[in-house]
Amino acid sequence: MVYEEVSSKRDVQPICKALGDIVIEDLDLSVRAYNCFIRAGIRTVSDLYNKLNEGLSSCMRIRHLGRKGLVEMLAVARAVGYTFDSEMELFLSDSTISGVIERETRISQINLLDITMEKPDYSSYTDGTKGFTLFANIHNKSNQVMLVELKEFLLFCNGRQWVPSSNLTGYSFSAEHIMPMSSKTAAKIWSGEPWVNTKLIDGDYVTIVIELNSVSHAFKFVLRDGLFIINDYCIF
Give the SS3 label for residue 224.
Answer: strand
Contact 181, 203 (CB under 8 A): no
Contact 78, 84 (CB under 8 A): yes
Could you tell me the CA-to-CA distances from 132 to 124, 172, 195, 207, 208 in Å, in that order?
Answer: 8, 15, 8, 17, 17
Please spell the DSSP secondary structure of 65-128, one letter per residue: THHHHHHHHHHHHHHTTPPP-HHHHHHHHSHHHHHHHHHHHHHTT--SEEEEEPPPEEEE-TTS
Give the SS3 label for residue 155.
Answer: strand
pLDDT tens digits, one per residue of 105-148: 788 788 899 999 999 999 988 888 899 999 999 999 999 999 99
pLDDT for residue 98: 64
The per-type count for the chain, helices as H runs and strands as E runs, is 7, 11
Which residue segments constitute the domains of the chain, with CATH numbers given?
17-107 (1.10.150.20), 113-235 (2.60.40)
pTM: 0.64
Q: CA-CA distance, 206 to 185, in Å (whole number)?
A: 15
Give me the half-sphere count of Cα atoms (radius 13 Å) on the Cβ side of residue 219: 24
pLDDT tens digits, one per residue of 139-168: 999 999 999 999 999 999 988 999 999 999
Specify the length of the chain in residues.
236
- Per-residue pLDDT of the chain in tens (236 residues, 90 and over written 9): 333 333 344 444 544 446 667 888 888 788 888 999 999 999 998 898 888 888 877 888 888 887 778 888 888 888 778 877 777 776 766 655 667 667 777 887 888 999 999 999 999 888 888 999 999 999 999 999 999 999 999 999 988 999 999 999 999 888 999 999 999 999 999 998 888 888 999 889 999 999 999 999 999 999 988 899 898 999 99
- Supply the DSSP symbol for 23: B
Bridge partners, residue 166, by sequence: 189
Q: CA-CA distance, 214 to 149, in Å (whole number)?
A: 10
pLDDT for residue 32: 85
Q: CA-CA distance, 131 to 193, in Å (whole number)?
A: 9
Q: CA-CA distance, 150 to 218, in Å (whole number)?
A: 10
Give the SS3 label for residue 31.
Answer: helix
